[in-house]
Amino acid sequence: MAKNLLTPQMINTLRKEYGKINFVDPELPAYQKLTSFLDKMTQDQLKQLADAKIKFVSVLARNRIK
């Protein structure tokens, strides 16, 4: 099993919190923080997020998987 995977609790928290958001403006600092956060993740972590069906996050994670 890969190291440093996200826990189910972390994924559920992300799903719950991002589920409240209806619009993401790529010009805002919050979007920049999210993309910076994703850029630092391992491929295994990105795969977890891509498969987790988290609003906005899963699409961005999928875009970073090589």
| pLDDT given at position 4 | 86
If 0-12 CB within 10 Å is exposed, 13-18 middle and 19+ buried, where does residue 41 land? middle
Contact assessment for residue 51 and residue 58, using Cβ atoms and an 8 Å cutoff? yes
Query: Over 80: is that where the pLDDT of 66 sits?
Result: no
Instruction: DSSP for 4-38, please give it.
Output: TPPPHHHHHHHHHHHTT-----TTSHHHHHHHHHH
| pLDDT given at position 2 | 57
Task: Please give the model's pTM, rounded to 2 decimal places.
Answer: 0.86
If 0-12 CB within 10 Å is exposed, 13-18 middle and 19+ buried, where does residue 54 land? buried
* Interval 11-59: pLDDT, tens: 999 999 999 999 989 999 999 999 999 999 999 999 999 999 999 999 9
